[in-house]
Structure formats: C-alpha cells, structure tokens
C-alpha cells in the first residue's frame, strides 16, 4: 500500500484539471493529477474549438499560449444564414472582442507538455478512484497508481472529471441540487480533411434543421448537423452527411469543401447545473459541475474560468490562510455559469427547429432571428455573450470582477483559517 501526500488532488486531466494544475504550479502550490484514461486518448479526444478572448488571454498570460498564437485563428465575426440570406455579425465591431479557433485537444496537449516540463505529469490509467474523506482535517482518496493500491492525502480535492466522473457522485445525498434540461435533438459532428470553405464560422438555420460549418485548421473542417437524439450513426453514410450539409448551409450554391471524414460522433444536447459546486474539501469545476448544449461553445470556456477562480482561491488560502475566496467559490462561479446557461439555451432555441413545433413557434424564431440581424443593440448583446463578456477568466485569475475591479471574493479580507 502506497501513500501520496499533496496539497491539491485533481481528478481528471481535461481542460479544467490541466488548467488548474498549470495555474497552481505557477502559484507554487503542489498538486497531483489523476486521470482515468491513457495519454493518447486524452490528447486525441476531439471536442471544442472556440476559445473566448478571455480564455485565450489566460492561456497566453500563463505561458501556455505560444502554439495557440502560432496555429490558432483569431475570428472577428461569424455568419448567420437563414431564409436564403447571409448576414455577417462582427463581434469586433459590436463589442470589441474576438474568439480564437484552436482545438480543445491542442490546448490539452500544450498543458500536458507544461506539466511534463514542470516534472509533474498526470498519472494516467487511474480508473478506480474512491473519495473517502472530504469533511475532516484532510481529504483522502484511494486508487491504484502503477499497480500499487495507494492512499492520496491532500488538503483539497478538485473534481475536474467531467459530467460522468466520480467526484460529483461522491457527495452524499441531499447536499447538491441538480437543475437539468434535455433537448429533443442532438448534434452529429464530423471532422473532415477539407479546407474550410470560408474564413469564419457559418451558422445555418433551415427548415430541415440547424447546421454549423466550423474549422480546426487551414486543412481541417469541423461540421455539425442537428439530428434526432436517438440517431444511429450507421444511418449517416458520408454522402448523406455532405448532401444534408449542402442543403442546410448552401441553399444558394455557396461553396463547401468535401473531404475524407476523419472522425464522427453524436452529441446529446443538455443543460445541467449542480449547486453548490463544493462540499467540504471537494471543489467541482467544469463539466463535473455543469453542462451546456454545445451551440454557444461555452463548455470549455466555463471549465477554464472555474479553474482560474479555484486556482486564485487556493493560492489565496496557501498565501496567508484567507479562506474567504474558497468559501465564495460556488457564488463566484455560478454567476457566470448561469449567464452561460441562459445564453446557450437562448442560442439553442434560436437556431434549432424543434421536432413537432407549431407554425407559431417557427414564426417567432424567425422574428427573433430578424431582430438579431436588424437591430444593432440586439446584435451587440448577442456578440458580448458569444465572444465572452460573461466573465473573463484572465481577470478571474487576477481576482477582478467584470469591470476589472478586485472582487470581494478574491479580495484581501481575512477569513478564519482551518
């Protein structure tokens, strides 16, 4: 039986866990990262690709943005297509902010390299974690590390193990309240070896359903189609996918480059929030605490934002025993979590015809789309949410609120040391 002692035990090497580990390292706080899968799996998982400006700034400011700055693409706007019309919304003009297209798995690779260079890579293949003690003087968890049954003793546990992880489920019944909304459709997503047809993302609304043309690089496109939630991928051969993309995205013959499909998958659409995001010495971050439907591209950005808040709160605790930011962790995070939930739900409603919806709803959605492209005020509000004014993770790390002022939670008030 082995024993590992550390200050913070991080469960999960996704974006939340790795950003947290990276920021804690910069603050001089010791941590171990415990990941269920092997490294190739973690580095190869294709998911998000849109980084809000605050997320890109945080990676850059913390020294993990060098490759992102070289290989990522900064977008100043996006296109919306509906009723055979094309409308460009410039987030830069509307709210002075941009987004960066850079694959989540590339962010993960960069952060894993930083952990390796710091001499503390994650433990991979750890698939039997049991949280033993969360409310005593220390936190304790059990798992097998390198074939040896091991007890990990830490001051705190960070639950960064995604929606299906073990940490949230380890909180005793009655302590968390779950809020949940399931949508009656899903996304079929493909990664294709095809140069993107344009410079910017295209969101297409069609009677047959929503479609999105996104990208990962100058040679790789990422495309999505709204499908029924129980769709079988076998019913979607490549020809059918491309034909459907053309119908929904290119009603007037706009260009779309086809190429070999490298990956495909179905993503269900769900909104979920667990409150509070902490229990004793356990703090949940990212998808472990909340899920948004992917329409608004907020999941990764929220995960990074939570990690930044938690890193700041832990650093404050270790620097001088100030417990206040840790106590306020849920409150600080939930404000932007719910803002992102609200935006994601509104954007999902706006862009997806719901199965069986009545003609009144169809017309209401069209009216809302027309308002968005016709009113500068409406477009500016949308652009702010889209490019990420919800909460700037880089500011969160510095302990500042939306206006850049030091926030009460991260401020200098001394709390009771435990």
Helix axes 299-320, 329-351, angle to 10 degrees: 170
Q: Which stretch binds ligand RFL (CB under 6 A): 71-79, 248-256, 285-293, 391-399?
A: 285-293
Does the footprint of ligand RFL cover residue 209 (CB under 6 A)?
A: no
Determine if the peptide bond prior to 276 is cis (ω within 30°): yes
Which one of 183, 224, 279, 386 is the catalytic residue?
386
Does the footprint of ligand RFL cover residue 202 (CB under 6 A)?
A: no
Q: Which residues of 123-136 are buried (b: 16+ CB within 10 A; e: fewer)?
A: bbbbeebebeebee
- Alpha-carbon distance 116 to 143, whole Å? 22
User: Is residue 386 annotated as part of the catalytic site, yes or no?
Assistant: yes
Which stretches of 129-260 are assigned E, i.e. beta strand?
Answer: 130-133, 139-145, 148-154, 156-159, 177-192, 202-206, 209-215, 221-227
Whose CA is closest to 280, among 337, 329, 335? 329
Kindly tell me which of 214 and 341 has the beta carbon lying closer to ligand PHB: 214
- Alpha-carbon distance 398 to 313, whole Å? 10
- Alpha-carbon distance 126 to 382, whole Å? 41
Among 79, 110, 155, 161, binds ligand RFL (CB under 6 A): 161
Among 115, 168, 222, 352, binds ligand PHB (CB under 6 A): 222
Which one of 203, 224, 279, 329 is the catalytic residue?
203
Which 240-259 residues touch ligand PHB, going by CB under 6 A? none
Among 11, 24, 59, 297, binds ligand PHB (CB under 6 A): 297
Partner from ligand PHB, ligand RFL, none contacting 222, C-beta within 5 to 8 A by type? ligand PHB
User: Is residue 22 annotated as part of the catalytic site, yes or no?
Assistant: no
Kindly tell me which of 229 and 276 has the beta carbon lying closer to ligand PHB: 229
Number of Cβ atoms within 10 Å of the Cβ of 176: 18
Nearest distance from C-beta of residue 335 to ligand RFL, angstroms: 18
Contact 91, 376 (CB under 8 A): no
Contact 4, 151 (CB under 8 A): yes
User: Is residue 123 annotated as part of the catalytic site, yes or no?
Assistant: no
Partner from ligand PHB, ligand RFL, none contacting 303, C-beta within 5 to 8 A by type? ligand RFL
Q: Which stretch binds ligand RFL (CB under 6 A): 89-97, 130-138, 155-163, 364-372?
A: 155-163
User: Is residue 329 annotated as part of the catalytic site, yes or no?
Assistant: no
Does the footprint of ligand PHB cover residue 344 (CB under 6 A)?
A: no
- Alpha-carbon distance 51 to 149, whole Å? 39
Q: Which stretch binds ligand RFL (CB under 6 A): 33-41, 274-282, 313-321, 383-391?
A: 33-41
User: Is residue 203 annotated as part of the catalytic site, yes or no?
Assistant: yes
Which one of 298, 325, 329, 336 is the catalytic residue?
298
Question: Residue 8 forms beta bridges with which residues?
Answer: 31, 156
Does the footprint of ligand PHB cover residue 50 (CB under 6 A)?
A: yes
Does the footprint of ligand RFL cover residue 281 (CB under 6 A)?
A: no
How large is the C-alpha radius of gyration of the chain? Answer: 22
**End-to-end CA distance of the chain, in Å?**
29
Number of Cβ atoms within 10 Å of the Cβ of 401: 18
Binding site for ligand RFL (CB under 6 A): 11-17, 34-37, 42, 47-50, 104, 126, 129, 160-162, 165-166, 187, 189, 267, 286-288, 294, 297-301, 303
Footprint of ligand PHB (CB under 6 A) = 48-50, 201, 214, 222, 294-297
So which residues are the catalytic ones?
75, 203, 294, 298, 386
């Amino acid at each position: 039986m082995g024993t590992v002692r550390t200050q913070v035990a991080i469960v999960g090497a996704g974006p939340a866990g790795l950003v947290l580990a990276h920021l804690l390292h910069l603050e001089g706080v010791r941590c171990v990262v415990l990941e269920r899968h092997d490294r190739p799996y973690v580095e190869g998982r294709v998911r998000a690709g849109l980084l809000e400006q605050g997320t890109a700034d945080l990676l850059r400011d913390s020294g993990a943005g060098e490759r992102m700055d070289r290989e990522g693409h900064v977008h100043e706007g996006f296109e919306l297509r509906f009723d055979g019309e094309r409308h460009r919304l410039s987030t830069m003009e509307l709210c002075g902010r941009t987004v960066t297209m850079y694959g989540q798995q590339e962010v993960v690779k960069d952060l894993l390299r930083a952990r390796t260079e710091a001499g503390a890579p994650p433990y991979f293949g750890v698939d039997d974690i049991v949280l033993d003690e969360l409310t005593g003087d220390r936190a304790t968890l059990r798992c097998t590390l390198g074939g040896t049954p091991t007890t990990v003793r830490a001051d705190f546990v960070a639950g960064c193990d995604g929606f299906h992880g073990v940490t949230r489920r380890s909180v005793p019944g009655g302590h968390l309240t779950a809020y949940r909304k399931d949508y009656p459709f899903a996304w079929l997503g493909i990664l294709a070896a095809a140069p993107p047809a344009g410079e910017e993302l295209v969101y297409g609304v069609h009677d047959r359903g929503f479609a999105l043309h996104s990208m990962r690089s100058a040679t790789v496109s990422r495309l999505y189609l709204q499908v029924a939630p129980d769709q079988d991928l076998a019913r979607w051969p490549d020809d059918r996918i491309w034909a459907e993309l053309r119908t929904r995205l290119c009603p007037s013959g706009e260009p779309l480059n086809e190429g070999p499909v490298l990956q495909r998958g179905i993503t269900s659409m769900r909104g979920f929030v667990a409150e509070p995001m902490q229990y004793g010495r356990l703090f949940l971050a990212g998808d472990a605490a909340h899920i948004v439907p992917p329409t608004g591209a907020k999941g990764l950005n929220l995960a990074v934002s939570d990690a930044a808040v938690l890193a700041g709160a832990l650093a404050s605790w270790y620097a001088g025993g100030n417990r206040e930011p840790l106590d306020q962790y849920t409150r600080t995070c939930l404000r932007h979590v719910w803002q992102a939930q609200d935006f994601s739900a509104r954007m999902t409603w706006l862009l997806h015809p719901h199965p069986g919806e009545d003609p009144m709803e169809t017309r209401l959605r069209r009216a809302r789309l027309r308002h968005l492209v016709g009113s500068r005020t409406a477009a500016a509000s949308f652009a702010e949410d889209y490019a990420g004014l919800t909460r700037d993770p880089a500011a969160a790390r510095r302990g500042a609120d939306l206006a850049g002022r030091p926030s009460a939670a991260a401020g200098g008030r001394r709390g009771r040391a435990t």
